Amino acid sequence: KQEVTQIPAALSVPEGENLVLNCSFTDSAIYNLQWFRQDPGKGLTSLLLIQSSQREQTSGRLNASLDKSSGRSTLYIAASQPGDSATYLCAVLRSNDYKLSFGAGTTVTVRA
Amino acid sequence: NAGVTQTPKFQVLKTGQSMTLQCAQDMNHEYMSWYRQDPGMGLRLIHYSVGAGITDQGEVPNGYNVSRSTTEDFPLRLLSAAPSQTSVYFCASRMGIAGLTDTQYFGPGTRLTVL
């Protein structure tokens, strides 16, 4: 069974610091990995999708890496801003049944 | 283009009552799904559909029913509400079942409390 873990569960940093969010998964049989952002009381918004054959994806201040063999992904957010405060979730698309397995998320607070 | 819409946003039920959570998407996506989100846990799949007329169970299907009569709509029915079904429910869609680059789109969620 695919287990997805995100540690730490919560993180607080001063504005301007770079954020490093971790995601680990137990089964490397995946099609892709997605990072989502969730604001309080809202739905999930996709940030980045990395295909299993890729090593990283970038969008603006966001960069996500994927090491499928070791079961790890990292989301980097450069020069954090208070507007980056949210919960970040990762999810893997399992290649055996095409279903998503989600981590519980990391809640980020960026202090002004 | 409204994306994925859900109604209602909030709902309070008494134990034993039934209700339907509505979900619609206007992106012509084949794959639709329902998740529940509970504190400290990742999203868990309740039911999913790979196209009109085709539905299947996810990880936590007990107490829920779905149907998919059109591509756009995917309602979730609670048959007899229980306090354990207190949760936030999300509807999601993506283009196809196995698209390597298919982003998953989520609705805004329904916050359900069962007393």
Residue-wise pLDDT tens digits, A65-78: 999 999 999 999 99
Q: Which value, to the nearest 10 degrees, does the dihedral of the CA atoms of residues A21, A2, A98, A66 take?
A: 30
Residues of B contacting chain A (CB within 8 angstroms): 4, 35, 40-45, 48, 58, 90, 92, 97-98, 100-101, 103-109, 111
Residues of chain B contacting A91 with CB distance shorter than 8 Å: 42-43, 104
Instruction: Of A27-31, A59-63, B85-89, B96-100, give the lowest mean pLDDT range.
Output: B96-100
pLDDT at A96: 87
Kindly determine whether residue B42 and residue A42, on different chains, have CB atoms separated by under 8 Å. Answer: no
Alpha-carbon distance of B114 to B19, in angstroms, equals: 11
The residue-averaged pLDDT of A29-41 equals 95
Instruction: Of A30-39, A43-52, B91-100, give the lowest mean pLDDT range.
Output: B91-100
pLDDT at B100: 73
Q: What is the three-class DSSP state of A80?
A: coil
Strand-pair partners of A111? A14
The band of B1, judged by pLDDT with boundaries at 50, 70 and 90, is confident
pLDDT at B18: 96
The residue-averaged pLDDT of A19-28 equals 96
Q: Kindly state the percentage of chain A with pLDDT values over 70.
A: 100
Residues of chain B contacting A104 with CB distance shorter than 8 Å: 40-42
Which has the closest alpha carbon to B48: B27, B26, B30?
A: B30
Strands (E) across chain B are located at 4-7, 10-13, 19-25, 31-37, 44-51, 54-57, 64-66, 76-78, 87-94, 105-106, 110-114
Strand-pair partners of A94? A30
pLDDT at B40: 82
Q: In angstroms, what separates the C-alpha of B95 from chain A's closest C-alpha?
A: 13
